Structures are given as structure tokens and as C-alpha cells.
Amino acid sequence: MSSKFQIKKAKNGKHFFNLLASNGEVILTSQMYASKATAKKGIASVQSNAAALDQYEQKTNKAGEHYFVLKAKNQKVIGQSEGYSGTTGMKKGIKSVSTNAPKAKIEDINIKVVG
């Protein structure tokens, strides 16, 4: 399986996407978008910003897990990772997004999901 973006519709009617690595693991989740068209623009932003390592911000959540966000050139967050137990895993996640996102295909999932 190759890496891909999956666009989904949440119960609130908004759209979001996940970037999946070639092993099927979610490596980045977007914010909510008002429409599928704006979610696709978000994907294009991820694809154009993913290779620029200075667009990633490393953070720690309340549970002490490390995670990262990917920002667009305007500094708005366009995606967030899962929580990692250490910085090594988080850095591998950043590398995975930076290599997978630019060439990932887009898959539209026509199901409503929890959220």
C-alpha cells in the first residue's frame, strides 16, 4: 500500500483528512473544514509544506506525550500528529510526513465518522 490522504465527513457535517503512511498508520490529522473542497485545499497545503522542516512545531501535551503540528506559510496549523512517548518517535513521524505527503494520493471516504 502506498501513502494516501483519506477525506472523511464528521457527524457535524464538516470534513477532515488523515494522512496514512504506507503501512496504513495515521501520521497526520487535519483540522475540520466546512466542505470537501476546502479539505482538498488543506491537503494541497500539506503537500506543499511537508518537505519544509521549519514548518513543523514540536510540542508536548498534558499527558506528557510528544507530538508535532505542521503549519502553512501563514503559520496556521494544517495538521497534527498522534502523541508519541518520546522525541525519537515524534521525529520519525515528522520524517514520515515530510517524505509521504508530497506524493500521497487522495481517497474520498463516503462515510460519516464519529466526531
Domain boundaries defined on the chain: 4-110
Show the cell assigned to 42.
488543506
Please state the rounded mean pLDDT for residues 22-29. 94
Annotation: CATH topology of 4-110:
PH-domain like (2.30.29)
Which comes out higher in pLDDT, residue 111 or 87?
A: 87
Contact 19, 106 (CB under 8 A): no
At 27-43, the pLDDT tens digits run: 999 999 999 999 999 99
Show the cell assigned to 21.
503512511
Which residue, 1, 4, 33, is CA-closest to 97? 4
Read off the pTM: 0.90
pLDDT band at 3 (very low <50, low <70, confident <90, very high): very high
Distance of CA 21 to the CA centre of its chain: 11
The DSSP-derived string for 44-112 is HHHHHHTT-GGGEEEEE-TTS-EEEEEE-TTS-EEEE---BSSHHHHHHHHHHHHHHGGG-EEEEEEEE
pLDDT, averaged across the chain: 92
Write down the residue that cell numbers 470537501 correspond to.
36
Identify the pLDDT of residue 114.
Answer: 52
Identify the pLDDT of residue 109.
Answer: 78
